[in-house]
Amino acid sequence: MVTGAAKLEAIAGSDMFVLPSYSENFGMAAVEAMACAIPVIISDQVAICDEVKKAGAGIVVKNDERQITEAMGSILNDEEAAKHMGDSGRRLVSDNFSSDKRADKMIDALNGIISGYKDPR
């Protein structure tokens, strides 16, 4: 396990981040990579796959060796597209996954629950 500055150095020094998961409830490691402007390749089983695809922050694949290999080649062979994905990923994280944004969304959700609450007494 790599943590702290060593983890950030490893991520920042990468050409891409690949997460071919069969079940991922969020994908924090992919978010960390996107925060470092690293393009990601994630499976369609990672919960944030729709956001990544919509933002153009990476490539979403099935857990298929051929698809993963092709996606990796695509990123390695097109520096401009890789940079665009990295920049889009950083923007996605800033706009949607920062702690401030997550807290705001949680507050909105809780306020919605409270406003719909009816005292059973």
**Which pLDDT tens digit goes with each residue over 89-109?**
999 999 998 777 667 777 877
**Confidence at 16, pLDDT banded by 50, 70, 90:** very high
Whether 101 is in a domain gets the answer yes
Cross-sheet strand order for the sheet of 17-19: 17-19, 40-43, 58-61
Q: Would 120 be classed as within a structural domain?
A: no
**36, 77 Cβ separation under 8 angstroms:** no
| CATH number of the domain residue 95 falls in | 3.40.50.2000
**41 part of a folded domain:** yes
Tokens coding 18: 């690949």
Distance CA 111, CA 119 (A): 15
Domain span at 27: 4-115
Average pLDDT of span 66-86: 98
pLDDT at 119: 64
pLDDT at 108: 78
Q: Given this model, what pLDDT does residue 2 score? A: 85
Cα end-to-end distance, the chain, whole Å: 52
Q: Which residues fall within 8 angstroms of residue 29, CB to CB, at 6 or more apart?
A: 17, 19
What is the domain count for the chain?
1
